[in-house]
Structure 1
Amino acid sequence: MGNFLQENEMLTRWAQFNQEKWRCTAEILKFQRPDSEAYIESLFFFNHKGKLFLPPLNPFHPTLFHPTPTDKPYRINEQWQQLALQMVDEIARNSGAASFILPPSITDIRPFLRRGFKASVRYTYQLSLPYSSEDASPKIRGRIKKANQTGYRTALTQNMSEVHPCLVATEERKGFQHDLTLEDLHLLQELLGESNFRCYVCYSPEGEAVSVHIVIIMGKDWSFIWVAGSKTAHLKNGVVQQCHHYAFEDLSQLGIESIDMAGANIASVAEAKSGWGGELVPYYQIRLPIFMETYRACRNWLTFNKKQKI
């Protein structure tokens, strides 16, 4: 395996990038009882008003649960319930109107619901590694074959000047902004290093960079596709699929165990990602109810009880 940063160091450097890029405050909070080595570690972002928010290009608030070594499910559940209460109180103190998005690894949100939080479910696809192209749909395998036969090739790059134009091309085609400058990419490259910041570029037969996927590796069982982009003229030639496949093979060789494809909530996006054969998994967006929701709930409760009395 490469010279990877450890999870805590990755959280620290990811926090630094977000602070510099989005002009926010970031703090790694640790929730732990004095009588146990189990703990939760979570990265909290705060806006200029001191309230929680999630900066752009973050799929969720990075949160890690570390139970003590045990094969007893009841012990793990007990530790999570105890520590999550501390986290719930911290979020409640700072939440404002913003949501807190938990990563897919956090599946038990009962402590939040009991505290009065509202929850919305979202979805993403996760691929187990090592990856076999046999798990992909015939359509995707066909696209990879076309790219290979046409002379495209994919490789890792440290040249952000090749990466950035591909991101811009997707922005222009789809009408949105990553809001990433070339300097931003250089900053993150410097902070995370080549082992944790993986830039995969597909090159045309003429050597032009035409498609890019950037993967962030937080740990061997925690990586995600951060951003991607492709030049329009090459999309039908399978460049996106070849780039994806190369990335999955590279991550497998590094010993990475899974990758999050970062979202499957928009129908067209979900359809494109489902063909890789990953597991569809939920993750949760939680927030305290805003005033109008509380008002409506109280009004409905009073109306119901009035009718019952009648």
Structure 2
Amino acid sequence: MTASHSPLFLDVWLEYNRRRWKLRPERVSLGQAGGTPRLDAVLYRGRGGRIEQPPRNVYLPVAFETAPDTGAHRRYTQWTELASRLGEQMAADGVRNTINLVPEIGDIRPWTWHGLLAGVKYTFLQDLPYDLAQASQSVRSRIKKAQKAGYTCRRSDSVADVSACLTETQERSGFDFDFPMDQLDEAQRFVGTEHFRCYTAYAPSGEPAASYVVLHNPGGWALAWIISTRTKHLPSGATQQLHHYIAQDLTDAGAAGFDLVGAGAESISAAKAGWGPRLVPYYFLQQYGARRMGAYVYRGVQEMSGRFGATAALRRAARALPWQRETPTRPT
């Protein structure tokens, strides 16, 4: 199972999150110690003891393993028993904000059985080794354009070059990744360059044009943690050239595949889809509560108002709800 080899299970990643976000990581292993069936997870706890997902962490890692020759019914009962125990623990301890589970978890019922709210988001998974024939004609043309213009790619491990690309991307998109250069440097030094891999495409002038930061562990799915491009190099094809270079490098490094991390925004999804990856769902969890339920009620009233022309009085009543300012994370 590739999930158990996720970089999100690495000791250095857990310790980095503990120091950076002041959250206490707790490894959970249910089932047969050192054997199968077994369910492994990492839970992060805040000061109050509730379970949180650290900022800038894509998922909360959960991995289920069983013997390869296990029958379908036996596998089902093993999974539901162990996952239900984990779901019960998480519901009892409490969940703060939103928890994203890894795409390998295809059955969310053991968590909802214990009263947690669940929803679905999407991501793109690119299988490795990668055949460029799977990409769209547009992607292939952009790669050729960048190569012809003299752009080059390498794993430079330069956080300064990554930061230059990220800064312009944040300014252009209005999205704040909240990772200035000193914090990127700290993360790379702590996690290590083999797991925290910085890639950059360079213009013929030598200036950085596009960059990726990838979280990697051999045998697991690599995660596209940061993708950024400097504004004037957007039409150059440098981003596509760099992505293709990274897919080849990750294959050589033993990655099981490449998670492009997210398929929410329409324009970004269209760009990622050009590589021909698999669109897959993943689940998120939230805790029931007065404010959380109130937010769902408010959103439902708003949708009814738009669909059925609800009265002005009903709309005013919805806006008057004391909790209406908190809107749950929408599936993306």
Measured against the shorter chain, the TM-score band is 0.7 to 0.9
Counterpart of 1:130 in structure 2: which amino acid?
P
Contact preservation (8 Å) 1:97, 1:290: no
State percent identity of aligned pairs: 31
Report the more deviating stretch, 23-32 or 153-162: 23-32
Contact preservation (8 Å) 1:33, 1:83: no
Which residue does 1:191 correspond to in 2?
190
Contact preservation (8 Å) 1:12, 1:28: no
Report the more deviating stretch, 38-47 or 284-293: 284-293
Q: 1:201 Cα deviation (Å)? A: 0.4
Q: How does 1:38-117 map to 2 (within 5 A)?
A: 38-117=37-116
Q: 1:233 Cα deviation (Å)? A: 0.8
Counterpart of 2:89 in structure 1: which amino acid?
E
Distance (whole Å) between structure 1 residues aligned to residue 143 and residue 84 of structure 2: 47
Runs (4 or more) in structure 1 with deviation over 4 Å come to: 5-10, 33-36, 292-297
Which residue does 1:288 correspond to in 2?
287
Q: Note closer, same or farther for the CA distance 1:156–1:251 as it changes in structure 2 (3 Å cut).
A: same
Q: 1:96 Cα deviation (Å)? A: 4.0
Q: 1:256 Cα deviation (Å)? A: 1.9
- What SS does structure 1 have at the residue aligned with 2:251? helix
Note the alpha carbon deviations across 1:65-89, whole angstroms, 9 max, x for none.
1223434222222211111111111
Distance (whole Å) between structure 1 residues aligned to residue 199 and residue 112 of structure 2: 40
Counterpart of 1:131 in structure 2: which amino acid?
Y
Note the alpha carbon deviations across 1:257-282, whole angstroms, 9 max, x for none.
21110000121111111111000000
- What SS does structure 2 have at the residue aligned with 1:225? strand
Contact preservation (8 Å) 1:10, 1:192: no
Q: 1:160 Cα deviation (Å)? A: 1.8
Distance (whole Å) between structure 2 residues aligned to residue 73 and residue 249 of structure 1: 35
- What SS does structure 1 have at the residue aligned with 2:52? coil
- What SS does structure 2 have at the residue aligned with 1:194? coil
Q: Note closer, same or farther for the CA distance 1:50–1:155 as it changes in structure 2 (3 Å cut).
A: same
Contact preservation (8 Å) 1:53, 1:99: yes
Distance (whole Å) between structure 2 residues aligned to residue 195 and residue 240 of structure 1: 22
Distance (whole Å) between structure 2 residues aligned to residue 244 and residue 174 of structure 1: 20
Which residue does 1:271 correspond to in 2?
270
Distance (whole Å) between structure 2 residues aligned to residue 230 and residue 220 of structure 1: 28
Q: 1:157 Cα deviation (Å)? A: 0.9
Which residue does 2:23 correspond to in 1?
24
Distance (whole Å) between structure 2 residues aligned to residue 34 and residue 24 of structure 1: 26
Contact preservation (8 Å) 2:210, 2:242: yes
2:181 aligned with 1:182: yes
Contact preservation (8 Å) 2:128, 2:255: yes
Distance (whole Å) between structure 2 residues aligned to residue 211 and residue 26 of structure 1: 33
2:205 aligned with 1:206: yes
Counterpart of 1:255 in structure 2: which amino acid?
G
Q: 1:219 Cα deviation (Å)? A: 4.0
Q: How does 1:233-252 map to 2 (within 5 A)?
A: 233-252=232-251
Counterpart of 1:274 in structure 2: which amino acid?
A
Note the alpha carbon deviations across 1:202-250, whole angstroms, 9 max, x for none.
0000111121011111342321101121111111101111111110111
Q: 1:255 Cα deviation (Å)? A: 2.8
Q: How does 1:248-263 map to 2 (within 5 A)?
A: 248-263=247-262
Which residue does 2:131 correspond to in 1?
132
Distance (whole Å) between structure 1 residues aligned to residue 11 and residue 293 of structure 2: 37
Which residue does 2:311 correspond to in 1?
none
Distance (whole Å) between structure 1 residues aligned to residue 284 and residue 142 of structure 2: 35
Distance (whole Å) between structure 2 residues aligned to residue 70 and residue 209 of structure 1: 50
- What SS does structure 1 have at the residue aligned with 2:182? helix
Counterpart of 1:169 in structure 2: which amino acid?
E
Note the alpha carbon deviations across 1:157-176, whole angstroms, 9 max, x for none.
12222222111111111122
Contact preservation (8 Å) 1:11, 1:28: no
Distance (whole Å) between structure 2 residues aligned to residue 152 and residue 8 of structure 1: 30
